Amino acid sequence: MHYIKKTLLLLGITSTALMSCKERVPMDLNNASLIPIPNEINADGFSFQLNKNTQIVVSEPSLKNTAKVLQGILQPATGFDIQIVEGKNAESNQILLSLSNELSKNDSYQLKITEDKIIIQGKDIGGVFYGAQTLRQLLPASIEKKQVQNIDWRVASGTIKDAPRYEYRGAMLDVARHFFSVEEVKQFIDYLAMYKMNYFHIHLTDDQGWRLEIKSWPNLTKIGAETEVGGGEGGFYTQEEYKDIVKYALDRNITVVPEFDMPGHTNAALASYGELNPDNKPKKIYTGTKVGFSTFTVDKDLTYKFIDDVVREMVALTPGEYFHIGGDETHVTGKEDYIKFINRAQKIITSHGKRVVGWADIAEANLEPNTVAQFWKVKTHSAKLALDQKAKLLMSPAAKAYMDIQYDSISPLGLHWAGYTEVDDAYQWDPDTFLPNTSPSDILGIEAPLWSETVKDIKDIQYLTFPRLPGYAEIGWSKKSQQDWNTYKIRLANQKARFEAMGLNYYQSPKVPWNKE
């Protein structure tokens, strides 16, 4: 009996000693500078350590793409060969990705971090993806580097419960004024994904360039894509390249919204096919930046055959719900012709199974059910017309949300027709109350456009996008009651190390205390 007691005592001592070998490192989850700020954080004071044996576990085959994206984030800087395995539960040293019916809102998630495992549960695939992006921000900023970093990869423990404010949280990139490569577009998509944005609006056509291969009208890229603003060489995406962009976005829970701008902003098309013009003669290629001088011929049947062909090919490549028809700055289209055109263009889009989005100018016409009006102008007349027709508003007020607007009068990039938009201006506004007589139910969400008149490469994109983009993401995701500039600017300042680890050419706004902890 004494032998048995002694053995049990020794086993207990040995067990305690083994447990104590695993160092318990205190960390406070409340100190994390997360953007967007989560709805709820509950810290428990300790930490989980990522190491060479950590695995990612997927409970459903549908989560494998999310697991691969997370794996791609974790491996380069850690140097760990992190494996993806299947399973329903998390064992020690595993990161479990799973779906949960207990979460009620689309894209919502719960992230539970203990000392020996991490569990990410989402209402849907999007929720799991966003939980993984939060985990990314909880890791040291060096996780963004592409070379192995010899540091301690720890994450503060506790629980985060989170859900988005708006269903649509997006940004737009104009690839028509200046053309950007597939890799540059993917980098832009990565920025959106990191901050939980879920829509990528790509402005594919304009006066200066046509950027997507249309097989039934090949001159659009043979002629219409050959240049850009300033006379550069231009370019276009083959249909295979565009499909690759769409898939890349979908793997990051981002839906692509293609824009075929019409009836104005159409000179590239009119230069490609003379028969689209009243005199059947092609327009000259345009490389300037003025707007409002081009228009489709509204009373030609060929115009609508052309539009139907283009839309059919674009829709076949783009599985998302929305199709953007532009509709702005049609200064040389008569009002009656404009209304006639928009009415007919909408029907073409809906006949292909898509939901119409247009700049809010389209509210002059009779909007189809479920059409979305994207507000951008300083004047609110078009938004009122849209609301009168029960349309949802996508909020992109130029003076607040346009990322191509200069930060100040000495900014080397951007325009200033809508004033100047410093980082605090970009953050301190509310889509629900920006316009008079609107309610939260009127607002679909927020989109931050980046027009490219002055933007030539990825470094230019980065300069105008950062650090404004994280603020737009927080407006779209976090509760209004949690949005406060004085606390946000501290969290934004603490993103500096992450920006630099990513190699971003960001604007060091004097409004942000970058060098303070």
Enumerate the active-site residues. 329
Largest distance between two CA atoms of the chain: 108
Residue by residue, DSSP assigns 44-108 as EEEEEE--TT-EEEESSGGGHHHHHHHHHHHHHHH----EEEE-SS--TTEEEEEE-TT--STT-
CA 114 to chain centre: 30
Residue owning tokens 């159409």: 266
CA distances to 181, 425, 459, 461 from 505, in Å: 18, 20, 6, 9
Helix (H, G, I), strand (E, B) or coil at 120: strand
- Quick count: other Cβ atoms within 10 Å of Cβ 497? 14
What are phi and psi for residue 116, nearest 5 degrees? Answer: -125, -5
Helix (H, G, I), strand (E, B) or coil at 312: helix
Q: Which residues pair with 450 in a beta bridge?
A: 173
Residue 477: both structure tokens together: 């995701």
Residue by residue, DSSP assigns 433-497 as TSSTT--GGGEEEEEEEE--SS--SHHHHHHHHTTHHHHHHHHHHS-GGG--HHHHHHHHHTTHH
CA distances to 151, 236, 313 from 309, in Å: 55, 18, 6
- Alpha helices, DSSP H, located in 276-378: 301-317, 335-351
**In 212-262, beta strands by DSSP E:** 255-259
CA 277 to CA 254: how far, in whole Å? 37
Nearest partner of 507 among 428, 430, 446, 421, judged by Cα: 421
Residue owning tokens 């200033």: 416
CA 357 to CA 146: how far, in whole Å? 38
Residue 468: both structure tokens together: 């404004």
CA 513 to CA 500: how far, in whole Å? 16
